[in-house]
Structure 1
Amino acid sequence: MKLGIDAYSFHRYFGELYAGLETAPDRGMTVWDFIDLSCDLGAEAVSLESCFLPVGDRELTTALAARLDRAGLDRVWAWGHPRGLQSGAAPQALDDARASLADAAAVGARVMRICAGGRGTRPALWADHKAALLPLLDPLVREAKAAGVVLAVENHIDLLAEEMVDLIETIGSDHLGVCLDTANNLRMYENPKAVIRRLAPYAKATHIKDIEARGGDPATMAFWPSVPAGRGVIDLDFALRELKAQGYTGVLAVEIDWLSPGYGTEAEAVAESLSYLRGVMGRL
């Protein structure tokens, strides 16, 4: 397993803010700045968020591939923020996913994380949700296989663990798995250990995330902010042991969404997370 960083950890620097929770930094960040910082922090891999990059820019993806190769960084391509396929209600989003798949292949990513939806798009009934997603995911998985890329559906506060498994097993392709976010399903009131144990066998990518309960309305992001790995309520030792036991050899991508006040800058939180995870890996 390789320690990495998801670019979403620095979303404020790429121009995205959580309304009412975050303020803009004094200066922004480019993808090149992110790669340089990842190298400085000793990461072995990066997850590049397509939402912060132009679509279909072959000059850019060629340059990115060359830069990552020179740095010796493994890479995951991430598509679908914030709501991806909108739980099946946005068939037009499939065109954007296809374009991003071509970018993933061009940058040399073997895995592309995708979002099927988000907190605000989840239908009331799983049967309806599944029926809406399958016609979109089936052709995308076939195209991913042709491109030599594995798709990893994130548990993006839209899918319960058993729904994730049902979706993956129904499609039944070795080019479709899970991007296991270690914290998101706690935000859906599922036991995080049970979710990690259930989804680890299907993991093709990860978001290694720790969170705390800050108070307020548990249906909102403000209740469950990110904290540096090892500071919150997610048992990341357990998560990494489960992933290793299932033969996972991919990227352990640190992700910070809304960073809880009092933990410094995003760069400091990511650096602390990497240090903590190195210690965990040394004990495996």
Structure 2
Amino acid sequence: MKLAIDSYCFHRYFGEVYPGIEEDPGSRMTMRGFLARASSLGVDGVSLESCFLPSPTPEAVSQLREDLDERGLERVWAWGHPSGLQSGDAPEEVEDLKRHTEIAAAIGAKVMRICCGGRRTRPAEWGTHKGKLVPLLRNAIAHAEQHGVVLAIENHIDFLADELVELIQTIDSPWLGVCLDTANNLRMLEDPMVAIEKLAPYARATHVKDVAARSGNPREFAFWPSVPVGKGLIDIPRTFDVLRKHGYTGLLALEIDYLHPAFGGDEQAIADSLDYMRGLL
């Protein structure tokens, strides 16, 4: 397993600021600037959120691969933030997914994280949810296989662990797996370690995230802010052991979304998180 960072850690600097709970930092970051920052943090790889480079030209894609290769960074391309296929209600998005699969291949990524939906798009009935997604994913996987890219579905606060396992097993393709977010199922009020144990056998990418409980409604996003890895409710050492047990050898990509105000600035939280993860490795 290799230490990595997801560009979403710097989402505010890419212009995405959660209204009402975050402040604009007043400065911006480019993808090239992120790669420089990642290198300075001593990571082995990066997960690159395509929403921060939504319509790259062929020249930009070529430059991105050159920058990644020059820095020796392994890479995952990430598609679909915030709602991806909208839990199956946006079949037209499959074409964009395919386009980004080709970008993933062009930058040398063997895995592309995808979002099938989000907390706002999840329907009440699992059978309907699954029935809408299966044909869309089969279509996308056939294209991904042609380009040598594994699609990794994130548990994006849209699936219970058993639902995502059922979806993966139903499609049953070596070109489809899971991007295991270590904290998102707690945000759905599931035991996070039970979810991790269920999803780890299918992991092809990760978001290593730790969270704490705050005040308010536990069914709302703001109740579960990110904290530096090792400071929250997720058993990260056990998580790494579970991933090892299942033969996972990919990137352990730190992700911090809404940072708990008690932990100050992003930079310190990121540095502390990577130091903690590095110690476990």
**How many angstroms does 1:210 deviate by?**
0.1
Q: Please identify runs of 4+ aligned residues in structure 1 that moved more than 6 A.
A: none
Deviations 1:51-91 (A, max 9, x none): 01032521111111111111110000000000000000011
- Please give the TM-score of this superposition, normalised by the length of structure 1: 0.98
Which residue is 1:82 aligned to? 82
Distance in 2, Cα, partners of 1:110 & 1:268: 31
Deviations 1:230-260 (A, max 9, x none): 0000000011000011000000000001001
Distance in 2, Cα, partners of 1:172 & 1:108: 25
1:30 aligns with 2:6: no
Which residue is 1:2 aligned to? 2
**How many angstroms does 1:267 deviate by?**
2.0
- 1:33 alignment partner, SS class: helix
Deviations 1:195-252 (A, max 9, x none): 1111100000000000000110111111000000000000000110000110000000
1:120 aligns with 2:120: yes
Distance in 1, Cα, partners of 2:101 & 2:268: 32
Instruction: Identify unmatched segments of 5+ residues in structure 2.
Output: none
Distance in 2, Cα, partners of 1:162 & 1:139: 23
- 1:240 alignment partner, SS class: helix
- 2:261 alignment partner, SS class: coil
Deviates more, 1:18-27 or 1:74-83: 18-27
Deviates more, 1:20-29 or 1:200-209: 20-29
Distance in 1, Cα, partners of 2:19 & 2:56: 29
Which residue is 1:95 aligned to? 95
Which residue is 1:263 aligned to? 263
Question: Does the Cα contact within 8 Å between 1:150 and 1:177 map onto a contact in 2?
Answer: yes
**How many angstroms does 1:178 deviate by?**
0.2
Residue type matched to 2:52 in 1? F
Which residue is 1:159 aligned to? 159
Which residue is 1:45 aligned to? 45
Distance in 2, Cα, partners of 1:51 & 1:141: 21
Instruction: Identify unmatched segments of 5+ residues in structure 1.
Output: none
Q: How many residues align?
A: 281
- Please give the TM-score of this superposition, normalised by the length of structure 2: 0.99
Residue type matched to 1:85 in 2? L
Percent of paired sites with the same residue: 56
**How many angstroms does 1:112 deviate by?**
0.1
- 1:112 alignment partner, SS class: strand
Pairs within 5 Å for 1:1-284: 1-281=1-281
Question: Does the Cα contact within 8 Å between 1:58 and 1:106 map onto a contact in 2?
Answer: no
Residue type matched to 2:204 in 1? K
Distance in 1, Cα, partners of 2:92 & 2:77: 20
